[in-house]
Amino acid sequence: MDEIRKKLSPLQYHVTQEHGTERPFQNEYWDNKKEGIYVDLISGEVLFSSQDKYDSGTGWPSFSKPVSLKNIKEVADASHGMNQIEVRSQRGDCHLGHLFPDGPESTGLRYCINSAALRFIPKEEMAANGYADYLSLFSEK
């Protein structure tokens, strides 16, 4: 844990390792409109695509679905007196945010994710960062 703590800002550590939440509308990606992918801050595993990001009005990045369910863990969370579904990264085992059943019509799901748990890779930098296999997410249909 000390190694992880050294690599992360205090907020990133609090969110990913201590099940924290950042402030709405005051985080890095809530209004990011660029094309690209969102990866786990620690493991680098691909989690979400800008193709599935939408403005939920909550002040956090919201996605209708992950790129692959294999990279996400859903865990029952009864903290704070509420029954919620926590979203964690599979390999990194980092707290990302929560899943709610009030998303867009396409899936009905809202993955409400903390920016502090993510790293954004712009589409034009994906290949150089080792994510060329995911460029097909942005192919013209």
d(CA 55, CA 81): 27
d(CA 30, CA 3): 28
Please name the residue ranges forming H helices in the chain.
Answer: 2-7, 10-18
Active-site positions read 112
- Indicate the SS3 state at residue 132: helix
Structure tokens, 54: 């939408």
133 Cβ neighbours under 8 A, 6+ residues apart: none
Alpha carbon separation from 49 to 75, 81, 120 (Å, rounded)? 22, 31, 9
